[in-house]
Amino acid sequence: MSAKILLALDHIEGIASLPVYAQHGGYAVLKKVLSDISPQQVVEEVKISGLRGRGGAGFPTGLKWSFLARPEGVPRYLVCNADESEPGTFKDRYLMERNPHLMIEGMIISSYGLGANTAYIYIRGEYFYIARILEKAIKEAYAAGYLGKNILNSGFDLDLHVHVGAGAYICGEETALLESLEGKRGNPRIKPPFPAVQGLYNCPTVVNNSETLAAVVPILDKGGAAYAAIGIGKSTGTKLISASGHINRPGVYEIELGIPVEEFIYSDEYCGGIRNGKKLKAVVAGGSSVPILPADLILKTAEGAPRLMSYESLAEGGFQTGTMMGSGGFIVMDEDTSIVKNLYTFARFYHHESCGQCSPCREGTGWMERILHKILDGHGSITDIDLLWDIQKNIDGKTICPLGEAAAWPVASAIRHFRSEFEEYVLNPHLIEDVKHYYRLQTT
């Protein structure tokens, strides 16, 4: 049985409009929170719920909120990170497209808890049509008195703005997002100071993923403890998974954290098994930047226990035999997939999206892409594989922001688990086909 909390209403016709949303209990939680609950209690409930950031890092949201500096006379900001740009992730898009009011309600409650009077939704440029949906929903919320001055006579003011980005992957990194929101070039800032102390316009700021903010509504509705009862261990609640790749039923699924990976891939309720009866080869479990795992390691951990869809279980075994939950971009690959070609596509992406601020990422991502291109071109040598390994090692952990790691981890894991495939490309150049296709794809 799938636990539908965030997507409980998404099948209802016209749920994107406020009257229909209100009919199905929309904004009831907001009314309850504003009349009965203090801001401190909101933060407390979120802490109790054990909600973790759904954008990728999985940092406990309540803890993040409690870090927010609260100096007198300085405004605080809440920013919703809707710059969903990780390849393989498309959950926020579905959420915002279907049920924009849920996220807006979550943002109003969160802003109340954090004492922020201005909130922003930073949405990626390619989602311009969702920006229209959100703007329409915000307009409705203003008209109904859920936004603006003195919301529902509680004395709490909130202004909510939608800001459309220009489509850079790096602007999904929170400090680059803030720079971009300020109207500057989207370069990540050097931390510390963290946004909780000096964020937007140098004021304390909380940046949360859309899904995280939407989850605040059910938490305040049923209580943090009830939310914490769902899920397993420290992975509480439900998570939206964007399933794509060679499966029978690609799409966005809401799962209770802790279901077995095997069930998720093969159950008809979720992915419905591998397309055309093929065998499973590998899975990228959390969006393109997390390590790829071969079939045996994604279904079972190195110790032989079944792997579960939870932050802890997916990470079990470290990067040697494990991976990460990431943003929940679940990419399934069947036995016919070329890991090297797939890796080249990822490497090309990270090369293209590197902001160019710090040297390892600026120079290393392009270098890795060129070597992979060379291998795919049939001109590779065995030393190139070792060189790739060295380059990723030199990037990993030496950059300003996590983009360097995001570029390095796929390379590291592909070589770690599928080295033989690289060697096959290098040793049998005559077997390589389809190379011209990749020439055409190359953008630079």
Partner 1 sequence: MPKVTIDDISIEVPEGTTILEAARMIGGDIVPPAMCYYSHLQGTGGYCRTCIVQVTQGSEKDPRPMPKPVASCRTTVMDGMVVKNTTSPELLEARAGVVEFLLINHPLDCPVCDQAGECHLQDLGYDHGKLETRSEFPRREFEPIDIGPHIKLHMNRCILCYRCVKVADQLTDGRCHGVISRGEASEISTYIEQAIDNDFSGNMIDVCPVGALTDRTFRFKSRVWYTKPVDAHRDCPTCSGKVRLWFQGDDVIRVTSRKDEYGEVTTGPEGNPEWICNTCRFDTKSVHDWEIEGPSHIQRQSVISANHYESLKALKVTTERMYDANPHGTKVDLGEGALDPNNESK
Binding site for partner 1 (CB under 8 A): 168, 185, 190, 351-360, 362-367, 370, 387, 390, 393-394, 397-400, 444
Nearest-angstrom CA–CA distance, 116 and 36: 19
Nearer to partner 1, 249 or 398 (CB): 398
Q: Residue 188 gets which letter from DSSP?
A: P
Nearer to partner 1, 7 or 401 (CB): 401
Q: Tell me the closest approach of the beta carbon of residue 387 to partner 1, in angstroms.
A: 6
The reply to whether omega before 19 is within 30° of 0 (cis) is no
Q: Tell me the closest approach of the beta carbon of residue 125 to partner 1, in angstroms.
A: 14
Q: Tell me the closest approach of the beta carbon of residue 170 to partner 1, in angstroms.
A: 8
Nearer to partner 1, 149 or 393 (CB): 393
Q: Tell me the closest approach of the beta carbon of residue 320 to partner 1, in angstroms.
A: 16
DSSP assignment of 276-305: GGPPEEEEE-SSTTSPEEEHHHHHB-TTSP
Q: Tell me the closest approach of the beta carbon of residue 381 to partner 1, in angstroms.
A: 10
Q: Which residues pair with 76 in a beta bridge?
A: none
Nearer to partner 1, 208 or 354 (CB): 354
* Nearest by Cα to 293 from 137, 165, 416: 416
Nearer to partner 1, 142 or 201 (CB): 201
Q: Tell me the closest approach of the beta carbon of residue 444 to partner 1, in angstroms.
A: 8
Task: Let me know: does 96 contact 90? Beta carbons within 8 Å.
Answer: no
Question: Measured on CA atoms in the order 327, 127, 365, 340, is the torsion positive or negative?
Answer: positive
Nearest-angstrom CA–CA distance, 102 and 116: 19
The reply to whether omega before 60 is within 30° of 0 (cis) is no
Nearer to partner 1, 115 or 366 (CB): 366
Nearer to partner 1, 49 or 365 (CB): 365
Nearest-angstrom CA–CA distance, 179 and 75: 17
Nearest-angstrom CA–CA distance, 188 and 192: 12
Q: Residue 149 gets which letter from DSSP?
A: S
Q: Tell me the closest approach of the beta carbon of residue 373 to partner 1, in angstroms.
A: 10
